[in-house]
Structure 1
Amino acid sequence: MSEGTMQRRAQREERDQRAKRLNRLLVCAAAVPVMLVAAGCSSDSGSGDSTDKAEKAAASASPSPTVQAAAYGKLPEPCKAVSKKTLKDLAPKSKSGKEGKSDDISTRGSCSWNSLDNNGVKGSQFRWLNVSMLRFESDVTRGPADKLAREYFDKQVQEAQAVEGAKSVKTEPVAGTGDQATAVRYELKKKEGTFKQQTIVARVENVVVTLDYNGAGLAGDKTPSSDDMLKDAEKAAKEAVAAVSEANGKGDGKAGGAPSEAASKSPSKSSSDSSSKSPSKGASDKPSKGASASPTKKPASQS
């Protein structure tokens, strides 16, 4: 083999070696971005997993919403909420009370008494007494039971002040009756006579007691004194509130709790505030059928 041929072969081998090294460099260079991308994806994925785990941990660590439990869990027997002695004064001719229908006696209850003292040609005296009670439960979405009871208390006072046909409406606080109490009184003139209406709305903790007491002199008999009837109604309301407290193992059996500062100084906020909200779930703001009779519907015909 000639010297020129050997030289050309050496040059070809050197070129082949350089081409192989170049190919290897190109393959490695192409692989680098892929590795970087893969590493980047792996890093992002790990970061996302860490974030999700942190959020789940924080959520599990957060406490569930809570609300203060209701103070009172039951109601007294409505027809025993007022003493026999007081009933004899308010409804002397009533033989027994009529208990209203209730789908849950621990949540709502009522009782009414009719009294007609018929004196023939000398006229008659009619009296009607109704006591209704509504108890509220605490609810996470609506709030604590006593707050719901206050809202219903305001609504009851507002309704008493807005009775159709009422004349000479007066609203005043009632002291020593639960946590707050308001009396609304007015006159209703009907063909049978002039009826004197007294409505006392009282709240003790998470229970609202509404007492309605009205009377009239019929067939020419004299109209009863509104002041005297109010005193009788207040006495009965105090006993009903005390019965609620006693049924739950609280209170001294006299007034059912000390009056609030607001109740002792001024009428309920509802006399000037028109706010009205629904009570808690499980305790409707409308008494059940028979639970509360309106004095505007048929006070005289109940005789």
Structure 2
Amino acid sequence: MQRRAQREERDQRAKRLSRVLVCAAAVPVMLVAAGCSSDSGSGESTDKAANAAASASASPSPTVEAAAYSKLPEPCKALSKKTLEDLVPESKSGKEGKSDDVSTRAGCSWDSLDNNGVKGSQFRWLNVSMLRFESDVTRGSGDKQAQEFYAKQVQESQAVEGAKGAKSEPVSGTGDQATAVRYDLKKKEGTFKQQTVVARVENVVVTVDYNGAGLAGDKTPSADDLMKDAKKAAKEAVKAVSEANGAGGKAGSAPSESASGSASKSPSKGASNEPSKGATDGPSKSASKESAAKS
């Protein structure tokens, strides 16, 4: 009986030990499983972050249509010798406007005084300015910016202080869109006939200012004749812009569908964005050639 009891006690001890060993062996397995699970979560987070970064880098950056024209012609050579002889016959040379960058802003002016002594004098002043717009993601395409500036330029040319009888009309066959504005400006020296033609070709705006007056009793020039000459000069200047960029056919094209029928901003002096004051100025103090050139 005693031996049986001892055997049973040993068997029970063996069973308890077996259970302890089984539990001890299970602990590392659980730890390993927990470790794998933890690593899997970390890897998944890393993958998600990498995917998000890749998605962000793959998203397209803002883009804008490239400007058609990248340069401007030499402003004092934008008009032919024949045209200059017709419009400003007494002018010896053009005066180039100041510009920080002639590829985006350029202009040239000429003045002419045909002095006939006691019989009076004929005064003419001609200015060609060109402004080119670069495409920019914040401001939009060069073409769009040029359209906006064109509209302002015509509007301002119709609102010059002291202008009398201002009229405007569309001009065909000159770039993508063009508008002519005319008015009279009376001064003590005489009545000045102002003609302004604003034209746009692609991302460039060309403004031609041309005025004339009969001084010291000479007859006032015909506004129709002056406007005809101004339109001719504008067409040549637009063509010069196109040719400078290797696109000679654009200058004489019909207005594009995108061309707005409304007009835009006032004449700019030389290569400036600001409205030209000299465009409507005749001789300020006398009919001499020197004072006319300064006006």
TM-score (norm 1): 0.77
2:224 pairs with 1:231: no
What corresponds to 2:252 in structure 1? Answer: 257
What corresponds to 1:281 in structure 2? Answer: none
Letter in 2 for 1:121: V
1:1-303 → structure 2 map (5 Å cutoff): 3-4=1-2, 6=3, 9-10=6-7, 13-14=10-11, 16-17=13-14, 19-21=16-18, 23-24=20-21, 35=32, 37-62=34-59, 65-251=62-248, 256-261=251-256, 268-270=261-263, 288=271, 293-295=276-278, 298-301=281-284, 303=292
Kindly tell me the number of residue pairs found equivalent between the two proteins.
284
Change (3 A) 1:27 1:193: farther
- How far the C-alpha of 1:268 sits from its partner, in A, is 3.5
Q: Percent identity?
A: 61
Change (3 A) 1:232 1:288: closer
Change (3 A) 1:297 1:13: farther
What corresponds to 2:288 in structure 1? Answer: none
**Distance in 2 separating the partners of 1:297 and 1:10:** 130
**CA offsets, 1:227-286, max 9 Å, x none?**
22111100111111111222223325xx823121569xx974345xx9xxxxxxxxxx99
- Contact 2:211 / 2:280 at 8 angstroms: preserved in 1? no
**CA offsets, 1:16-66, max 9 Å, x none?**
445545555665676677555534332222222322333344455555554
SS of equivalent residue, structure 1 residue 198: strand
Q: Which runs of 5+ in 2 are unaligned?
A: 285-290
Q: Which runs of 5+ in 1 are unaligned?
A: 275-284
- How far the C-alpha of 1:166 sits from its partner, in A, is 2.4
What corresponds to 1:278 in structure 2? Answer: none
**Distance in 2 separating the partners of 1:234 and 1:199:** 9
- Contact 1:166 / 1:188 at 8 angstroms: preserved in 2? yes
161-170 vs 207-216, which moves further: 161-170
**Distance in 2 separating the partners of 1:170 and 1:267:** 18
**Distance in 2 separating the partners of 1:164 and 1:216:** 18
127-136 vs 61-70, which moves further: 61-70
- How far the C-alpha of 1:130 sits from its partner, in A, is 0.2
What corresponds to 1:277 in structure 2? Answer: none
**Distance in 1 separating the partners of 2:175 and 2:96:** 23
- Contact 1:213 / 1:233 at 8 angstroms: preserved in 2? yes
- How far the C-alpha of 1:154 sits from its partner, in A, is 1.7
SS of equivalent residue, structure 2 residue 107: strand
